[in-house]
Structure 1
Amino acid sequence: MSSTVTQKALVLPALGEHYAVADISIHAPGPGEVLVKIESTGLNPIDWKMLTTYSASIYSFPFVAGHEASGTVVEVGPQVDSLAVGDIIVFQGGFSLRRATFQQYCVVPVVHAAKVPSNVSPDEAATVAEGLMTALVGLYNTTAELNGKSLSLPPPWSPEGATKYIGQPVFILGGASSVGQNAIQVAKLAGHSPIITTASLHNAAFLQSLGATHVLDRRLSDDAILAELRTLTDSGAPLSLAYDAIALPETQPVAYRALAEGGRLVVVLPEQIPQEVKTPGDGKTVVFPFGHVCGPGNSEFGAEVFARLFDWLEKGVIKPNKVEILPNGLAGIPGGLARMEANKTSAVKLIAHPQETL
């Protein structure tokens, strides 16, 4: 680590203001932590929603956003023997000034990091953590305290889950989104078949390369989608599992309607299913996950995931998103977030290089 004690960060000075590049202190790693020089950071919808929908969750200023990244270990804290200076790692950040990724350096707990294999670039690695954790937490975190934040199914890497899902159909709405891409790959890992998703049809070949068996045009009416689903499952019966990676008021009802009695649905935004869509006693379960390792009940599960991530990436079990590099380092992030808010990205993860900030 150099003698530099300050760094560039994309800072929100106060509520009602805008993100701007500023100088802040570099943080020191504690026990079980490393200090990372951030090479690439991914942009996520939550980063622009922190200015609007989730602004009440910002408790102190200056605030720095950013929730996933890759970078180089530059300092190792006490009680760390699994990582060394010079290692390139992928990790989740965010929700504290020390761990946020819209800055040039941050602190990372080693149990929530994985080395990046040589077949994956730092830019690609920075696309992985947020979408993958959201997909996995919603399905497989069995921690009892989650209370409606996971279906708590046995994970496919456990003895109980290893063969449980083979041949079972799954319906994933929004397959081209980052969470949707990861949900498709997780479904393939678990052995689900068919894996049916909705997306713009120009993304169909890409999603099929990730494991989707059928891609339905997201512009179809709800009734048309339900009719297609009936033809794609062996029995023609409604499905038992769905994942809505978009979870807008216009997508949640069709996901819910697609399920059989007792079916299970994960939504990535709070539930907004009209009462008239529901049938009393249908036994359907809807959960809204908090897909982050720092969430209540997620830390141990996150450690399980990151312990497997190097192997998944190296073998191509989990493939990164496509990337688009934003110019001007951290200063390019606000424009990228504006594009995301305006829904002007498709099947691509926007990436910034904090070290290129002037």
Structure 2
Amino acid sequence: MKSHLLIGSCLLVLLTLAGCSRDDGAAPVAASARAPEKVVNVKVATVKRSDLAETFTLPGSLEAWQDLTLAAELAGAVRWTGPEEGARLAAGAEILRIDPETAKANLDQARADCDLLGKQLDRVRQLHGDGFASQQELDSAASSYAVAAAALQRSQVALAKSSISCPVPGILDRRLVERGEYVAEGTPVARVVQVDRLKVQIDLPEKDVPFVRVGQTVTVQPAVLNGTAPGARSGTIRHIAYNPDPATRTYRTTVEVANPAGDWRPGMIVRATFLRRTLDQVLAVPLYALLEREATRLVFVEEGGIARRREVTILAVVGQQAVIDTGLEGGERVIVSGQQLLADGAVVAVVAVEE
């Protein structure tokens, strides 16, 4: 019995010594296993107050300022054609003539008749004054002269109508008849387009109507063709429809844009940029600096090599900038790259500063 107790006491002592030796060796191992804190490389941008212009862009199409189809005002054969298609015309330039010989002959006859009846009226008026012609004869002579004068005026109008002229400065887009062709009254004979200025027709959504007014400047940019983007031009709003399109609930808006060289053509697709509002002295950060965690929008700012979490609220989004309402005061160095996996208090190293 005593031998068993002696053996048990020895084992207890040995186990106690072994446990102490293990505890003494574990402390240096744990201390050596502690890894240095990870440093995250980031890019930052300093938040400053500035003015931002909030714009919106809508598609539109170009139309000629005036697109006129000229028609024959009297029947006859086309005797003369002038400018060729594509010619640039001044207002009043003659395009073609329709049977001017007949019109001129009718005018000469009407003028002769009017002259004759005018002389007869003078003689009857003199005889009536001397008491040799009755009032009825005077009235008859006056009536005949008035009829002749009206016929003369009609002949003058007919001669003028025999010449088809350009009513506005423009381009002869198409000539629809040829020399020798007979045309009836009302037959389309030419198409003229005025393109030294153009109309941009845009369908304006109802929500944007309060921000747009007649006389406002708009930036017009044609579509990119063959990899080439023509330069943008300024236009002016000339009209905003009062009645909406019943199908789209949009308001047809007309923008005037200068086209002195005629290089923009009707039918081209363009983009028109309107100013919605100007935000004065606001704080804004790039959209890609924003994070959303647990339905909260936030950014990280760098303070002495430490990332600090800041919850923010957004007032508006202007282009690629988020306008900050609350959460920043200005002057902070917002982390714009490398923030996706950061936590509050993380150690960071600034490797670049964005302007």
What range describes the TM-score normalised by the shorter chain of this pair? under 0.3
- Higher relative strand content: 2
TM-score between the two structures when normalised by the length of structure 1 = 0.19
TM-score between the two structures when normalised by the length of structure 2 = 0.19
Q: Which has the larger radius of gyration?
A: 2
